[in-house]
Every structure is written in structure tokens, then in C-alpha cells.
Amino acid sequence: MSETKKAKIESPSPVTEEELHSQQFIRNIAFFGAEGQQRIEDANITVVGLGGVGSHAAHMLARAGVGHFTFIDFDVVTVSSLNRHSVATRRDIGKPKVEVMKDHILDFNPIASIRTFNVMMSKSNLGQLLDNRPDFVVDCIDDYNTKTDLLEYCIRNNIEVISSMGSGCRSNTTTLLITNITDVKYDPLAAKIRYHLKKRGINFDAPQCANPVTDADPLKKMVVNTSTGVFVPCVSSYERPVVKIMSYDDSASAKSSEDSVMRAATPVSETPTPSNETPTPSNETPSEGESSGMRYRCIPVYGCVPAAYGNAICSYILHSRAQKVFRPSTVVPLNQDIVVKMFNRLVTKEKQLYGNTELSLDRFDLYYLMQSIFKQKSIFSGCALAGNKLEFTRWDVRVPPALDNLVLGTVEECQKHEKEGLEGMNKEERERIQKFLDSQMIGEGREEVYY
């Protein structure tokens, strides 16, 4: 009886890093295209603040293939931060957040270039920390003084920045908006930052404060309909806080309890020391809101909300870098009763002014225009729906109303336009509005939206 000869099993040839890298991001390439993915991988992103929001933003940016990072955070992983941090584990308690994030990313993207600064950002070291001119700065700072310093620096130095507003005390992950900093509502932090930026001489509407870098951002036109000045995209929620900030006494008690657990859980040998490559923190006495006053009251937060904020930031940056436009939610959903009234008003005007009794549009088309195109603001003056009565009218009064031939304005503005038409408009104003309407690809965009 002859023996069966065993087939020789050849060991598979080792996979090269290039092959592995290409396969790892093949789904991204299918989504963004090869050129778009390459722009993502070439991006240089600085993330300031690696807590609940920042850690999720950094993590998913790295998952998408971003190849160059700078991480800035003075803090270490605490026990209480494990409920919302994207990658930290109990083994990381007491370690600098920047190093924990770096180590985790290099596990799945070993060719990423990552600089880390385990320091408190302040006016004195901002220039040094941002000396590499990043393509995007991700602001996830939870202290308004430092946050204002960073945003002012980015605005004055033409650095593109996206900012996270407050995610604490909120519960609904479906209420997120991406708006210009001037349009953030229901967020005390945003109001405070705008106030202090104005005190520092930042004029939000002044053309000289416009950033040529952000002006070229393909997503800008999806976020604002009229902006000649500062553009800082912000992720915020229109949900009002559902719980209160903890009292001073409760916060102090919680902090003391956590400190005891931290001391017991962190070996002395693992006590972090600042890296030699990081800037040395200044010896200035911290001002209100800096290290001496930070977190003096604990903010209740559960992990889903900051994770949603971080992922929204990541999505914005990826689409911006890949030049793949999408329409983020930018305004609070409109009550359908208001839309019905606006539609009925348009029907009445068409009949009275033009004898037109048949409209090719419905109320859902008006809702789309109101929300996605005009952002609940007059195209003529920028007046918002809140506090003003807005209505639709024809852009070219000689042509029947259509998705690309309707504009939104106050009652007075619409009446003036209906009387004077395009010929009665200032040439620059007419060209500005026409350019905006052309840029929106309104008909094409409507086909992608369902209400």
C-alpha cells in the first residue's frame, strides 16, 4: 500500500507595510476617491484637548488615515474620564493623555507622524505649539480663557480651526449642528467666547478678518449663506442642558475621592514627567479659568454625547480635506406649521401678483430651501427668522417660482424686490446673490434630501 505524499505547504510571503496600508484604507478610497484619500493622509492636524471630545476626534481621524498629528494636553488619564475617553483603559490611569493616544494610534497606523506636548496651552507658548502651521486645528478645550486664546490666535494667523462647544449636561446625540461661531445658539460657552473675542478686537463681520484659507474650504458655503468676515465652524447642540452642574461641595468631594483612587491605582514609577521636547510652561500665575480655576465644578457627562461631537468634527475635516461636500445640519429644525404658513403665503402672492395658480413646488421644497440653503436667514440682509417675519419671493420676477428661482427675505425686502426686480438692484448685491445661488447647486442637492 503506497503512502500518500503530503503536498509541500509554502509559507505565505510577508505582507509589506505598503500593501497592508493600501488594504487598510481601501474602503476610504472607495468613498473619498484616491485623490481625496491622499489629501487626508497628507493632512497635518493639531488636536488641542484629548478628553471626551478630542480623543474621539483624534481617534477617528487616525482611523481614516491622517498621517501627521500634533497632540496638546496638560492632563493625565483619570478614573472618571474612562466613561468617555475613546481609547484609554485602566492601565492608562495616571499617564499623559497625549502619550496614551499616540501609543494607541501607532498600534494600527505605525507610519503616522505624531508630536506630543504634555503642557498647558497659554498665550506664551501658542506660537511655539503651532509653529508647524497645521492644516486644521481641532479645539476641544473646555476652559473658555484658553479656548478664546486659541481661537484668537488662529483667526489672526489665518489657521483653519474647528471648535467644539459644550457637550456636558446634554443627552441627545441627534441635536448636533455645525455652524459658524456667530450662529451657535443655546450654548453659554459660545456666547462667552464671542463676547471676549469682540473685546479683543475681533470683528466677526469685517472682511479684513476673513481667512483666505477658510474661504477656500468647500464646506463653508454649506454652513453659512452670508459671511464676509470670520468663519470658525463649531459643533454644538440645540438641546438645552438637561441636568445642572454639580455644586462646589459635591465637586470637591468627588475630586477628593478620585484623587485617593488615583494615588492607589498609579504606581510611583509611572508618575508622568513632562517630555524634554515639549515647551516649558510659563511661570505666570494662572488667570481665571486656567489651571488654578479649571474644573472647580464638575460637569455631568455621559460618553455618547462627547463621542458624537468628536465624530462630527472628524467628519467635517475629512470631507473638507477630501473636497467631498456634504450638507451638515446647521439650523434648529423648523416647525412644520411655520412652513405651511410660508407656503400658503407664497401661493397667495403668486396668484395676486402674477396670476399664477399652479406651483411646481410643495412645502417640503420650501423646507429644504429654508433649512439647507438659506439657513433661516434673509439672503438680502442676513436677518434671521427669530425676531423677523421672513417669506419667499421670486429671484427673477419674470420667471415662475422654482427651486433655483426663489429667495428668502423679510416682508419689506421681498416687497421691494417684487416691485423693482433684478434691474433695480445694486450690481454688486445682485452678483453676490446670484453667485451664491449658482454655488449651491440647489436642484441637484434637493434630490439628495428627503423630508
Q: pLDDT (tens digit, 9 = 90+) per residue, 122-145? A: 999 999 999 999 999 999 998 889
Across the beta sheet with 161-164, the strand order is 113-117, 68-72, 44-48, 136-139, 161-164, 233-237, 176-180
- Residue of 205 and 359 predicted with greater confidence: 359
**Dist. CA 194–CA 158, nearest whole Å:** 18
Q: pLDDT (tens digit, 9 = 90+) per residue, 253-306? A: 777 777 777 777 776 545 554 443 444 433 333 333 334 344 457 888 899 999
**Dist. CA 451–CA 329, nearest whole Å:** 13
Query: Residue 10 half-sphere exposure, CB side, CA atoms within 13 Å?
Result: 3
Query: What is residue 160's predicted lDDT score, i.e. its pLDDT?
Result: 96
Judge whether residue 230 has pLDDT over 60.
Answer: yes
| 52 contacts 306 by C-beta, under 8 angstroms | yes
**Dist. CA 379–CA 387, nearest whole Å:** 16
| 431 contacts 389 by C-beta, under 8 angstroms | no
Average pLDDT of the residues of the chain: 87
State the CB neighbour count (10 A cutoff) for residue 104: 19
Give the type of residue at 415.
Q
**Dist. CA 291–CA 341, nearest whole Å:** 52
Nearest alpha carbon to residue 180 among 159, 170, 194: 194
| Residue range 368-397: mean pLDDT, rounded | 91
Judge whether residue 360 has pLDDT over 80.
Answer: yes
Query: What is residue 441's predicted lDDT score, i.e. its pLDDT?
Result: 65
Q: pLDDT (tens digit, 9 = 90+) per residue, 21-32? A: 999 999 999 999
Instruction: Extract the runs of DSSP E, i.e. beta strands, from 353-395.
Output: 390-394
What is the pTM for the complete model shown?
0.83
- Domains defined along the chain, listed by start: 17-322 (3.40.50.720), 336-446 (no CATH)
Q: pLDDT (tens digit, 9 = 90+) per residue, 87-96? A: 999 999 999 9
